[in-house]
Amino acid sequence: MNKASFLLDSQSARARPPLEIHVRLEARETSWEPAPGNTVAAWGYEGLVPGPTLVARVGDTLVAHLVNSLPEPTLIHWHGLRLPAGMDGTELGQSPVPPGGHFEYRFELNDAGTFWYHSHTNETVQIERGLYGALVVLGPDEPRFDADRLLVLDDVKLDGRGQIAKTALFDRHTGREGKVLVVNGRTEPELEIAAGHVELWRIVNACSARYVRLSIGGRPIRIVGSDGGRRNEALTVTEALITPGERLELAIGPFEDEGAELAIESLPYRRTAMKRPRLDTWGKLRVGPRARTLATAPAATATVWPLVPEGPLTPTRTVRLGARMTLHGHDWLINDRQHYHDAPVKVGELQIWELLNETGMDHPFHLHGFFFQVVAVNGVPVAVSEWKDTVNVVGKGRVTIAFRPDDRPGQWMYHCHILEHHAAGMMGHFEVVR
Ligand code: C2O
Ligand code: CU
Ligand code: CU
């Protein structure tokens, strides 16, 4: 185990007027040591895996200067951010930045929460090699925790020479999972929390395909936020599922048993019949000597109002997640097509989309640019208390989401966030029109 802190400096950004934050993100070849003694050839922003952690506050303007020093084109997508279509960082809104080229992303940060940025070009290679990082946006009146930590989870698949493996045909079907589990780019971190303390842990699942059913030694933990910031009320659980692309904000502690060692692990989860679910260990949390807590009530302060009135739901659109066998294995489909061209939606018009999974495998559905609410699962209404941009749709299951596009016309997309499924066609695009 390697001692780690993963502390986020969230205090200094909190007490200052809004700023323009300039960052340079050079995508380049680098070397990365995910496990002690095992150095791999990787690609990283500023040579780091994960890339620099960006901390800002609501009202700031982020100016990110992408410099492409890779041997192939690239783009940066700002996952979860409500920004103009031209800044979303996909090939729908800009042309890929060629080797030697650069691009300036500039947009205002409107929402507090835990976000991430990643390559949106040749993702099964570029993200796997390390082109991802976190962006944390602080709100004006956040509850106080004894510590604010960021944990970006990733799994790395190595080949026989200890280098990042090429994508296999099998990966196209089930999605690529690797045996080397890293938190902020390193294996087996050991964290310490003082007895009596309550900490905020921001979790990002940056894995290509791995579902993380997170448990902290089976202790009760509280979910205080999700993709789109704070929940209406904290939800106490002993485990939390985080699918690829999703984020969770957790209140951890207080633990009273000084000296206890808790495993940070993911419990077995069956997302496909093709993979045997197993328990995996990501790291360790040790309960240290007792300290006085300064944490204020971790209960969230957000107010998320349901978009859809109670009563029968009439979807405005159905999005079917499907698959088809071909000579080269599986194609992954939306409404029977690869890269489905969906109908436009109008600014201000309530969208109620039924996501219908026709396959036997789970898919984490991600919508770019707009937060949505999950309003029903398998036709059964659910109480709304959070904003999402990624939601799991279980095999043969049905999830109904609602969102109201605000005035950001342009081309947007949605897709399965299992990177190999996205690449094999499970994506759709649509225009937001005035
Ligand atoms: Cu993290 Cu197109 O998404
Ligand atoms: Cu995204
Ligand atoms: Cu999928």
| pLDDT value at residue 303 | 84
Question: Residues of the chain with pLDDT > 70: what percent?
Answer: 99
| pLDDT value at residue 389 | 98
The tokens of 405 are what?
A: 């596009």
Q: Is the CB of 368 under 6 A from ligand 1?
A: yes
Determine the Cα–Cα distance for residues 252 and 143; give it in Å rounded to an integer: 14
Query: For residue 82, how far is its CA from the centre of ligand 3 (angstroms)?
Result: 24
Question: Residues of the chain with pLDDT > 90: what percent?
Answer: 88
Q: Averaged over 328-350, what is the pLDDT?
A: 95
Q: Averaged over 378-395, what is the pLDDT?
A: 96
Q: Residue 266: pLDDT band by 50, 70, 90 thresholds?
A: very high
Q: Residue 11: pLDDT band by 50, 70, 90 thresholds?
A: confident
Residue ID of nearest Cα to ligand 1 atom 1:
79
Determine the Cα–Cα distance for residues 387 and 83; give it in Å rounded to an integer: 16
Length of the chain: 434
Q: What is the pLDDT of residues 149-176, one digit of tens each?
A: 999 999 999 999 999 999 888 888 999 9
Query: For residue 162, how far is its CA from the centre of ligand 1 (angstroms)?
Result: 28
Give the residue among 214, 225, 218 at the shortest CA–CA distance from 260.
218
Q: Residue 337: pLDDT band by 50, 70, 90 thresholds?
A: very high
Determine the Cα–Cα distance for residues 431 and 434; give it in Å rounded to an integer: 10
Q: What is the pLDDT of residues 119-145, one digit of tens each?
A: 999 999 999 999 999 999 999 878 889
Q: Is the CB of 366 under 6 A from ligand 1?
A: yes
Coil/strand/helix, residue 422: helix
Query: For residue 355, how far is its CA from the centre of ligand 1 (angstroms)?
Result: 17
Is residue 72 pLDDT above 60, yes or no?
yes
Query: For residue 209, how far is its CA from the centre of ligand 1 (angstroms)?
Result: 13
Encode burial over 140-179: b for 16+ CB neighbours within 10 A, e otherwise: eebbbbbbbbbbbbbbbbbeeeeebbebeeebbbbbbbbe
| pLDDT value at residue 310 | 82
Residue ID of nearest Cα to ligand 1 atom 3:
79
Tell me how far CA of residue 62 lies from CA of 81, 137, 340, in angstroms.
11, 11, 32
From the CA of 211, the nearest ligand is 3
Single pTM value for the model: 0.97
Phi/psi for 35 (5° steps) reads: -120, 150
Ligand 1: nearest atom to the Cα of 427: 2
| pLDDT value at residue 13 | 73
Q: Averaged over 180-201, what is the pLDDT?
A: 97
| pLDDT value at residue 299 | 53
Ligand 1: nearest atom to the Cα of 245: 1
Determine the Cα–Cα distance for residues 90 and 152; give it in Å rounded to an integer: 22
Query: For residue 358, how far is its CA from the centre of ligand 2 (angstroms)?
Result: 23
Q: Averaged over 323-329, what is the pLDDT?
A: 85
Strand runs labelled E in 184-291 = 186-187, 189-194, 199-205, 212-216, 221-226, 229-237, 240-242, 247-252, 261-266, 280-288
Q: Averaged over 336-356, what is the pLDDT?
A: 98
Ligand 1: nearest atom to the Cα of 368: 2
From the CA of 361, the nearest ligand is 3
Mean pLDDT, rounded, of the chain: 95
| pLDDT value at residue 298 | 52
Q: What is the pLDDT of residues 303-315, one digit of tens each?
A: 899 999 888 889 9
Do residues 375 and 382 make contact, with C-beta atoms less than 8 angstroms apart? yes
Q: Is the CB of 230 under 6 A from ligand 1?
A: no
Q: What does the radius of gyration of the chain's CA atoms come to, in whole angstroms?
A: 21
| pLDDT value at residue 302 | 67
